[in-house]
């Protein structure tokens, strides 16, 4: 399927993935943020979505391997949402061929040694709640106890490393708190920061 306007992908479903927004291009490839039916968030290249190469966040492969009995798991959770999140976390930090590797393993983000064992991960994080996904509190920190939480898509969006933070809040939080439009909040923050610089000078 050939699509000239990449915006047309938003809202479309490819396998287990639903496209929700476009993200900044990397190396000339259009990428989209998707939500997987297992609950994970996932960044995919548009071409791989449209040609059928990418159909899930990786959970489909986990399910397939489990059905073949290729994983000797004793925890009985290999088909669970929690296991899919754990497996995806490890893959995007260690597999250079993963679509999101540049944003995780490529930046030096690692999974702590304790969480190489799925049971330890569950002991620390608990089972994955419906509608939430794994999020790092410090986006420059590793996947480890104390730096991870189960978060909503809204919480994750507000915790992205490219967000503009003012007085401890991102623009969307300020917009919501003050009951004003996002663009209005952004312009007010720009003026405040500009004035602050002049005072310092």
152 and 186, same domain (yes or no): no
Half-sphere exposure of 44 (CA within 13 A, CB side): 32
Distances (CA, A) of 184 to 83, 171, 172, 180, 195: 42, 10, 11, 7, 17
**C-beta of residue 157 within 8 angstroms of C-beta of residue 172:** yes
pLDDT over 90 (residue 42): no
Tell me the pLDDT band of 197, cut-offs 50, 70 and 90: very low
Would you state the pLDDT for residue 198? 42
Q: What average pLDDT does the segment 168-191 reach?
A: 65
The answer to whether residue 106 sits within a structural domain is yes
pLDDT tens digit sequence for 76-128: 566 688 888 898 899 889 988 888 888 899 999 999 999 999 999 999 999 99
∠169-171-173 over CA atoms, to 5°?
60
pLDDT tens digit sequence for 18-32: 888 887 665 667 788
**C-beta of residue 92 within 8 angstroms of C-beta of residue 111:** no
118 and 172, same domain (yes or no): no
Would you state the pLDDT for residue 69? 47
Question: Exposed e or buried b for every residue in 111-124, given b needs 16+ CB within 10 A?
Answer: bbeebeebeebbee
Would you state the pLDDT for residue 55? 84
What residues make up the domain containing 63? Answer: 6-162
Would you state the pLDDT for residue 72? 45
15 and 108, same domain (yes or no): yes
84 and 121, same domain (yes or no): yes
Q: How far apart are the first and last CA of the chain?
A: 56
179 and 132, same domain (yes or no): no
pLDDT tens digit sequence for 52-66: 888 888 777 665 555
Would you state the pLDDT for residue 151? 86
What mean pLDDT is reported for the chain?
76
Would you state the pLDDT for residue 18? 87
Please classify residue 147 by burial: count the beta carbons closer than 10 Å to its beta carbon, then call 0-12 exposed, 13-18 middle and 19+ buried: middle
Residues of the chain above pLDDT 70, percent: 66
102 and 146, same domain (yes or no): yes
């Amino acid at each position: 399927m050939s699509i000239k306007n990449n915006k047309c992908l938003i809202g479309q479903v490819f396998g287990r993935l639903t496209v929700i927004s476009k993200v900044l291009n990397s190396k000339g490839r259009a990428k989209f943020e998707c939500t997987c039916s297992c609950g994970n968030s996932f960044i995919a290249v548009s071409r791989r979505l449209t040609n059928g190469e990418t159909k899930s966040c990786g959970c489909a492969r986990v399910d397939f391997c489990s059905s073949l009995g290729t994983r000797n798991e004793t925890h009985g959770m290999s088909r669970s949402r929690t296991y899919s999140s754990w497996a995806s976390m490890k893959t995007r930090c260690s597999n250079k061929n993963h679509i999101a590797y540049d944003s995780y393993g490529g930046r030096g983000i690692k999974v702590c040694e304790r969480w190489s064992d799925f049971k330890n991960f569950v002991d620390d994080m608990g089972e994955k709640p419906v509608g939430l996904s794994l999020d790092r509190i410090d986006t420059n920190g590793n996947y480890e106890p104390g730096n991870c939480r189960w978060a909503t898509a809204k919480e994750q969006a507000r915790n992205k490393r490219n967000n503009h933070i003012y007085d401890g809040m991102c623009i969307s939080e300020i917009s919501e708190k003050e009951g004003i439009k996002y663009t209005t909040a952004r312009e007010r923050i720009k003026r405040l920061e500009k004035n602050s610089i002049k005072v310092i000078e």
